[in-house]
Structure 1
Amino acid sequence: MRLLETYELGPLTLPNRVLMAPMTRSRAADTVPGPLNAEYYAQRASAGLIISEGTQVSALGQGYPYTPGIHAEQQQAGWRLVTNAVHEAGGRIFAQLWHVGRMGHTSVHGQTPVAPSAIQPAGTIFTPSGLQPVPTPRALAAGELPGIVEEFRQAARRARDAGFDGVEVHGANGYLLDQFLQTGTNHRTDSYGGSVANRARLLLEVTEAVIEVWGADQVGVRVSPGGTFNDIHDDDPAETFHYVAKALDEFGLAYLHVVETSQASPPQGLDHVGGPTALSRSAFSGTLITNGEYTRETAEKVLAEGTADLVAFGRPFIANPDLPERFERNAPLNEGDHDTYYGGDERGYIDYPTLSGVS
């Protein structure tokens, strides 16, 4: 079974190819991870690799209440609890570095959200007082962009000092770096807008900065070609994301992590190139992770075809801490409780049974 084969990822030997995808769970009180978070991740240490939930690189980078940061000493200390617990359980964990850009709210951090251009996204956003319209962001000045790069660099240093095994740059799902990539959210006329090379500039600068901290073989990047989540789109996603994958290939990254579908939003404009993972494979020669509603059977198929090297699972890992064992034994999966996905306490977080717990 290919899902259970080992895999060499930079300096790490993964015991299987069943990765835990990054998932916001909104259970970090005051943005600081604690013992509850440590137990949650340690329960899932049998994953080939855990990629942490999105972890904001600055206060302004936070989009939702109760998400963890990695830009302050107490946050770094909280993450050290998590990494220690995962390592003691025999696991491996990368930190996902995140800036939400325009997908934030003044009530969360007291500031106007920022974006490449002052374009208000459609829809609402979860805030401490419930769902609210997403505000119109402030367009970042060109002189502010080196500061964004530096925030990612400093977050990468804190992630290293917190004991992570590597980091993933979040360039997907309609957040800041993705907002710069896509034409629907980037109407700039300076060197960070217009051509695909200009729109990709910030992602590449951030990636280079993070590599300077970690080395390329411990850095991954996540992208969502053709993605529409968070009211985002691109006029020619095949051109944009082929360029991005090819440019990222030059770095010798640990991996490129490709989102096939996000929150039931299918990718657009990529049918003629076989979809997000196939497009990325055509331009990226390194390790490729695919993520998007995979089952045991469909994951086996994509690995057998060679379209991807590793498969990341999201919601199945919420309800099944022992997902690799369940795949090995072809055991039934627990159903997740949607009402407890975001926020709350240990219910729906650390109380799902394992096979050993019900046998």
Structure 2
Amino acid sequence: MYYNRANSLLSKVICMLLFILFISNSMIGRPYVKGMEPTDQSTADTNSFRLIVKSSASAAYQTEVMFTDKKLKKELDDRRLGAAFSDSLLLDTTLTYADKGLSQSFGVTLNGEVVDLTARSMMELSAHVQEVLRAQVQDLRAKHYGELLPWEEASLILPKYSKFTIVDVESGLSFEGQRRAGSHHADVQPLTKEDSATLKSIYGGAWSWDRRAVLVKLNGRTLAGSMHGMPHGGDGIPGNDFNGHFCIHFLGSVTHGSRSVDPAHQVMVHRAAGLLIPYVSKLSPWALIDVWISAANQGDLQLLQVTTGQEQAVHVRSMRRLSKFPELDVNQLLQLETAVSVTATPERASAVVNRRVLFRLERASLDARWYIRSAVMQ
């Protein structure tokens, strides 16, 4: 009798230990933010949210977190619409959850404000819920994007002959590279022929001078950078199927030839840091036109939208600026018209032609940012 009771007691203890172990394992790897409960299977259908950050709507590379928050769920279910959301630019953070079997999706600002994208209105949230969501958004964006470091500091973190991982912010494809040279930016080579193949696939299977936002990862640091994908110059790693090196720029880095900042690279550096819109919003009309030309040249629809404030099609295959910008004082202007000489390849042509593009820019006030309202090729 004593033996049977001991066995029974031992069985109960073992079952209890297995239950505790199961519960513990079910929580491993799930993010927790103060004020938000980790996702639990019993509440996943009713209070579970997914927060996603990616640099553009078409980007394959994204960072996400799952969490539950009963208060946020209740306030979103109440559907209290607040002020109109007038910003025409896209948000890089979305919040989704299931409501009665239907998926609901909202935009989220840096301050944790939830935007009903259909009604173009802000959702009314309590200060506590918005603050908790703001902390969650900022933490997730810090994990997704890179540090915006000046070239002088980035050069110390990535010394010559250091090896690191390069991640394309748009496609999410990554490969290994090594800094071989470069005093004003990093001259880099893929380590192996497999790495070279990945770099080429990022550019659609052909080497290209197009600038792309990248993350450079080394020793626990992630830096915001911009690369092109064209082999040129010296070659130092045999057998990697890459005849030369490619360049990676960082904040404030310059070209080795002209010793000048490359505007297209600087735009991509800020995109890799998650600061594209704040950066473009501070640009002068002339710098904004340069961004528009770079966007048209690369067929970058998001960049076109950032410069114009609206969706815009691309009707050229390539475009480069020829003329220098005039030195005009625009501090007291709300509108500006200027013509810029460019070389361009029309959409259905192969020959490069010289054209003039007439730009019309405006801003709402002297403190507001500039927008390109029209660009007509003559």
Normalised by the length of structure 1, the TM-score is: 0.27
Which is strand-richer, 1 or 2?
2
**Which structure is higher in RCO with an 8 Å CA cutoff and minimum separation 6?**
1
- Between structure 1 and structure 2, the one with the greater Rg is 2
